[in-house]
């Protein structure tokens, strides 16, 4: 547990790098793999910063065994390729 800025208690979560996504169009599409060939029901999100290679993290919320507020995070700062 950790204190958040408001003084309340926040549960710690586990964050793991699961891969990267390369963007050449300035947009990222999020789609269920079973629908990828049909390209129906997908979410298209502009990166706001153009193209790049962006890290993808899975953050598991340990408050409810990972089923509560787990999230997938795409960091649009990109990966340091040096």
Query: pLDDT tens for residues 42-65?
Result: 888 898 888 999 999 998 876 665
Task: Give residue 25's pLDDT band: very low, low, confident or very high (50, 70, 90).
Answer: very high
- What residues contact 72, with CB distance under 8 A and at least 6 apart? 56, 57, 58, 59
Say which DSSP state 33 is in: G
pTM of model > 0.75: no
Question: Is the pLDDT higher at 11 or at 2?
Answer: 11
CA atoms of 62 and 46, how far apart (whole Å)? 30
On the question of pLDDT at 3 being above 50, the answer is no
The SS3 of residue 66 is coil
Q: Which two tokens stand for residue 23?
A: 């963007």
Rounded mean pLDDT of the chain? 77
- Please compute the mean of the pLDDT values over residues 76-82 and round it to a whole number: 62
pLDDT of 64 reads 60
């Amino acid at each position: 547990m950790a204190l958040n800025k408001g003084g309340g208690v926040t549960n710690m979560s586990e964050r793991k790098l699961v891969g990267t996504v390369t963007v050449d169009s300035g947009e990222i599409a999020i789609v269920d793999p079973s629908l990828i060939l049909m390209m129906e029901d997908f979410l298209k999100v502009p990166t706001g910063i153009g193209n790049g290679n962006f890290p993808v993290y899975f953050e598991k919320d340990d408050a409810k065994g990972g089923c509560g507020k787990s999230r997938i995070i795409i960091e649009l700062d990109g990966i340091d390729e040096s």
